[in-house]
Structure 1
Amino acid sequence: MGDGQNDRTFFDRLRVVGQQGEVLAFMRNLRLETQKKAPPERAAMVKDQYERERARVLQWLRRTDSPGWWDGASEQDVFDVFGVSSTWKDDSAAAAAADRRIRQGIRHKYGVNAVALDTTPPRDAEAR
């Protein structure tokens, strides 16, 4: 990093990945809401599937707890975890903590202020 153009490109890529995560979260939540109207056994199956997925995601994001992970992480690795944390950050306190940790890690590793990065998709931002 360090060159203004590359920093801007990195920041813009982070924003897009975060926005994609926000859209995926919206779609997931819409699916969950829709399933509430399904027969009870179907709704229970979807809820169970969701809980298992959330547990897997939180386990996967925990790797960012390790400074060693950050030392060896490529930019693509960072985009991957940021996208996933953006998708799940509003789901639970653990997911929100992971998202904050990842944003801090990005700031530390790249000097990019991901903490203040607004990942609201453009359509939603216009509605505000």
Structure 2
Amino acid sequence: MPVELNHTIVPARDPQASAQFLADILGLSVDPPVAHFTPVTLANQVSLDYDQLDDFEPHHYAFIVSEQEFDAALARIQHGGITHYGDPACQEIGQIYRSKHTMGRRGAYFRDPDGHLMEILTPGGAGS
């Protein structure tokens, strides 16, 4: 059997609110609680299991989405007044990036309510 990622724990001050925030941006649903976790399951069946924690370092999570999903997610980000960036250092405010190395891959970064750096990106063309 090939090795696959099954889930990851995402620390959050308010797991339900943070899970709902991400689910709303990505056009997903928050799953029913599993023990004390609030999961959001992605299309490849990997779940982000939000868990309550008061003190943690922000993490980075990147999500590959189709071109249409990217446009829809970016529209939800903009409509929600969420600042997005064209770079991981969060200096290019209100921009998206287009990668020359992956033949047109587009992406954008934004912060969730707990400061985690979220990234949406398209698959790009050949060579990506």
**Is the shorter-chain TM-score for this pair beyond 0.5, marking a shared fold?**
no
- TM band (smaller chain): under 0.3
TM-score normalised by length of structure 2: 0.25
TM-score normalised by length of structure 1: 0.25
Return the structure number with greater relative CO, CA threshold 8 A, min gap 6. 1
Q: Choose between structure 1 and 2: higher strand proportion.
A: 2
Q: Choose between structure 1 and 2: higher helix proportion.
A: 1
